[in-house]
Amino acid sequence: MAKEDRGFASMDRSKQRDIASKGGKAAHQKGTAHEWTSEEAREAGRKGGMASHRRKQEQQQQTPDGGNAGDNTGNTPESAIGTNPNPEQMMGTDNLP
């Protein structure tokens, strides 16, 4: 028997749902099922919204070549020097009389 042919994940979705439903009903009858308070539900929803928002922002920052356009890794030419160079030095005007 192959590994992928065993276990809960290999069952069809309707069979999984039936088994999970029985487990949930049994936990409620026994009194061990978790019941969310409104505060817990609010906090969980807030965390989910923040994670979703963060993922969307990260996707928008990625450039087409797979890198990040706004990454703060310090790999810019200015950060390699340690300070931002003087604009006059960049233009080569420091040699003028």
Q: Which strand (E) or helix (H) includes residue 23?
A: helix 13-30
What is the token pair recorded at 20?
A: 């999970």
Q: How many domains are contained in the chain? A: 1
Confirm whether 37 is domain-assigned: yes
Confirm whether 48 is domain-assigned: yes
Q: Which residue has the higher pLDDT, 43 or 66?
A: 43
The residue-averaged pLDDT of 82-93 equals 53
Confirm whether 49 is domain-assigned: yes
What's the sign of the alpha-carbon dihedral 43, 44, 45, 46? positive
pLDDT reported for residue 9: 84
The residue-averaged pLDDT of 44-73 equals 78
The residue-averaged pLDDT of 79-97 equals 52
Would you say residue 95 has pLDDT above 60?
no
pLDDT, tens digit (0-9, with 9 covering 90-100), for 46-58: 999 999 999 999 9
Confirm whether 32 is domain-assigned: yes
Confirm whether 81 is domain-assigned: no
Instruction: Look up the domain containing 40 and give its range.
Output: 12-61
